[in-house]
């Protein structure tokens, strides 16, 4: 008889090992516990507490650090213990399933409760900060939401500083980000669709859009692209953006926007865009994103139209200066010096004659040093940031010129270029690369090379589209109605008379 029991236990353990995460839960508390222990490989943060509910074996599972322990005691354990002592005689005839239902409906006071039926669901909710109540003889496990992990407080994003707007920025917990969006758009038409991406990290994301404003066809296209993502883990919003781009896209520019400001994201949702919130990151993805939106900021819509128009023109001018000026300077001085005034060309000629390198090499060298300094300033601890500024000022501003390695005009051009690039920080990555390419092309092929490269960039911009929407709308294809918020910022009486930007964009097949 004992041998038969041992053989039966071996069979149970063997069946437990062969279980799949997609399989349904067992009636046996022992089997469910063994599966979870095996799945988490007895990890030290897997916490479980066994107890009895009027003679029925039970247990609570959770991941240490993801739940509020005081809330667990006050909202789950204490009510169950009180129920156990006060209903001991009345529960003798109840089945485990009946006890489970009674506790679920009458004892536990937490509002966030989910009934799980498979091992996959149990693991998903446990790793999301839920406590799992399992009763022997019942093939259901109750997930109880008592999350209590630590997170960074809400503060203003350091990458998107605004003057007159909200000082709130997105944080890492997904639920708080959803709350900040919902608090600004108090409409039942605002929809949040949950998806899970990542075969290992199983990261939750939410697709957010405004129904009746955002095109249903557009939402379906985004859904399909997200469902096709096959990746082991999602740890940042940037993991997803590449999958949302058009296939075989080698452009310098991205048609996927990213923002850390709730007011900016809500403004795009009101225009008919889709926001994608990723758990664990404060950056929210916005699709689609147009090239002209790099030159717009939320401050533009809280100031007078004439001043917003002025700042917008400054941003366009800064873009061309930061991208083209070094290349034009190198090509003009090298191949067409007659285009410069006599006094200026004389000083440049003296500067070039006193340096050992060619003008193109000088420009590339200073840009390389500047990029090294910038990267060091970003990665170093804040207390050492001042040291980088001092070293940079001494090495580049004084020593490099005094030793004759570089000329003063070249240094001034690079400084003006670097200053202009910070006016539009979201475009810094393509600007930094294009700037070096224009310097190389200008030093080798002259002004004609600059024009040829500029035409190639223009073709790249005009030929780019995502989800059927041209990247350069409403400039190309041109739309008078859309231009009211491109080169100028019209007043709100004009801006308010609009439908979804996605629907009104020329060339869009989502209208």
State residue 386's pLDDT score: 63
Give residue-wise pLDDT tens across range 420-473. 998 998 999 999 999 999 999 999 999 999 999 999 999 999 888 888 889 998
pLDDT interval class at 22 (50, 70, 90): low
Residues 369 and 258: their CA atoms lie apart, in Å, by 29
State residue 260's pLDDT score: 92
Nearest to 252, CA basis, from 106, 133, 428, 100: 428
Residue 16 pLDDT > 50: no
State residue 497's pLDDT score: 73
State residue 222's pLDDT score: 93
Is 498 or 389 the better-scoring residue by pLDDT? Answer: 389
State residue 273's pLDDT score: 92
* Number of H-type helices and E-type strands within the chain: 19, 12
Nearest to 282, CA basis, from 152, 428, 424, 190: 152
Residues 217 and 196: their CA atoms lie apart, in Å, by 21
Longest dimension (CA), the chain: 110
The Cα angle at residue 307 between residues 306 and 312, in degrees rounded to 5: 100
Model pTM score: 0.83
Residue appearing with tokens 């008592």: 146
The gap between the terminal CA atoms of the chain, to the nearest Å, is: 75
H or E stretch covering 60: strand 56-63
Task: Over range 134-153, report the average pLDDT.
Answer: 87
Q: CA 121 → CA 69, 159, 309, distances in Å? A: 22, 37, 53
Give residue-wise pLDDT tens across range 316-339. 999 999 999 999 999 999 998 888
């Amino acid at each position: 008889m004992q041998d038969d029991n041992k053989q039966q236990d071996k069979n149970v353990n063997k069946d437990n090992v062969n279980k799949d995460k997609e399989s349904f839960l067992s009636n046996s508390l022992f089997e469910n516990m063994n599966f979870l222990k095996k799945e988490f490989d007895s990890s030290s943060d897997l916490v479980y507490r066994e107890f009895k509910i009027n003679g029925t074996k039970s247990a609570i599972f959770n991941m240490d650090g993801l739940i509020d322990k005081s809330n667990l005691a006050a909202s789950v354990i204490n009510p169950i213990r009180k129920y156990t002592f006060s209903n001991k005689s009345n529960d003798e005839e109840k089945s485990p399933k009946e006890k489970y239902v009674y506790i679920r409906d009458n004892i536990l006071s937490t509002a966030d409760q989910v009934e799980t039926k498979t091992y996959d669901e149990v693991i998903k909710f446990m790793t999301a900060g839920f406590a799992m109540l399992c009763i022997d003889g019942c093939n259901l496990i109750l997930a109880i939401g008592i999350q209590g992990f630590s997170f960074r407080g809400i503060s203003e994003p350091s990458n998107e500083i605004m003057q007159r707007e909200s000082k709130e920025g997105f944080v890492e917990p997904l639920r708080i980000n959803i709350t900040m969006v919902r608090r600004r758009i108090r409409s039942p038409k605002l929809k949040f669709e949950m998806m899970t991406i990542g075969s290992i990290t199983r990261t939750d994301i939410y697709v957010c859009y405004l129904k009746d404003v955002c095109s249903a066809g557009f939402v379906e296209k985004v859904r399909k692209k997200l469902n096709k993502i096959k990746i082991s883990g999602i740890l940042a919003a940037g993991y997803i953006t590449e999958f949302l781009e058009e296939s075989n896209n080698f452009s310098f520019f991205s048609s996927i926007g990213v923002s850390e400001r709730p007011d900016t994201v809500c403004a795009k949702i009101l225009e008919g865009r889709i926001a994608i919130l990723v758990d664990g990151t404060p950056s929210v993805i916005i699709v689609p994103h147009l090239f002209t939106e790099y030159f717009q900021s939320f401050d533009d819509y809280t100031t007078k139209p004439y001043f917003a128009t002025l700042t917008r023109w400054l941003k366009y001018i800064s873009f061309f200066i930061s991208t083209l000026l070094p290349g034009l300077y190198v090509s003009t001085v090298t191949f067409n010096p007659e285009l410069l005034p006599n006094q200026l060309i004389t000083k440049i000629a003296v500067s070039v004659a006193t340096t050992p390198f060619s003008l193109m090499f000088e420009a590339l060298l200073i840009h390389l040093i500047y990029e090294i300094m910038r990267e060091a300033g970003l990665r170093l601890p804040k207390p050492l940031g001042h040291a980088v500024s001092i070293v940079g000022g001494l090495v580049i501003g004084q020593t490099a010129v005094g030793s004759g390695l570089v000329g003063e005009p070249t240094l001034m051009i690079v400084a003006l270029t670097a200053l202009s690039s910070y006016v539009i920080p979201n475009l810094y990555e393509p600007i930094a690369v294009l700037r070096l390419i224009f310097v190389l092309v200008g030093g080798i092929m002259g002004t004609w090379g600059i024009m040829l490269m500029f035409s190639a960039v223009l073709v790249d911009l005009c030929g780019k589209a995502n989800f059927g929407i041209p990247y350069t709308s409403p400039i190309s294809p041109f739309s008078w109605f859309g231009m009211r918020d491109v080169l100028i910022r019209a007043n709100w009486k004009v801006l308010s008379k609009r439908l979804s930007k996605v629907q009104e964009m020329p060339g869009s097949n989502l209208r």
